[in-house]
Amino acid sequence: MRIQAGGPVAGDVLKCQLKPVTTTNYTVTFTPAELVRLNMIFLQGVCDWTKPGIGQLLIADTWLRYFDPSGAWARMGHTSFGN
């Protein structure tokens, strides 16, 4: 459901940061009445998927390893570090 709402594929955001409802966030045009209704439904705002979740920290390291294109071992999110 969150992916359809614009959320990240990783699904690692448990509680999102909020932003106000604005027409520029959508590819459709809302009537003034529709915009009023959206603001009534989402009183506190809508998820801002461009920001990390509330209380979410970046991972310092990971146990995940893979072979990079040259055949060297690499850690997820890092450059190669040799065989």
Residues of the chain with pLDDT under 70: 1-12, 59, 61-64, 75-83
Looking at the fold, whether 16 and 48 belong to one and the same domain comes out as yes
Looking at the fold, whether 39 and 3 belong to one and the same domain comes out as yes
Task: State both tokens at 51.
Answer: 């920001």
The pLDDT of residue 80 is 46
- What domain count does the chain have? 2
Looking at the fold, whether 67 and 29 belong to one and the same domain comes out as no
47-76: burial string, b at 16+ Cβ within 10 Å, e else: bebeeeeeeeeeeeeeeeeeeeeeeeebee
The pLDDT of residue 82 is 46
The pLDDT of residue 36 is 95
Looking at the fold, whether 74 and 48 belong to one and the same domain comes out as no
The pLDDT of residue 50 is 85
Looking at the fold, whether 20 and 34 belong to one and the same domain comes out as yes
Which domain covers residue 2, as residue numbers?
A: 1-52
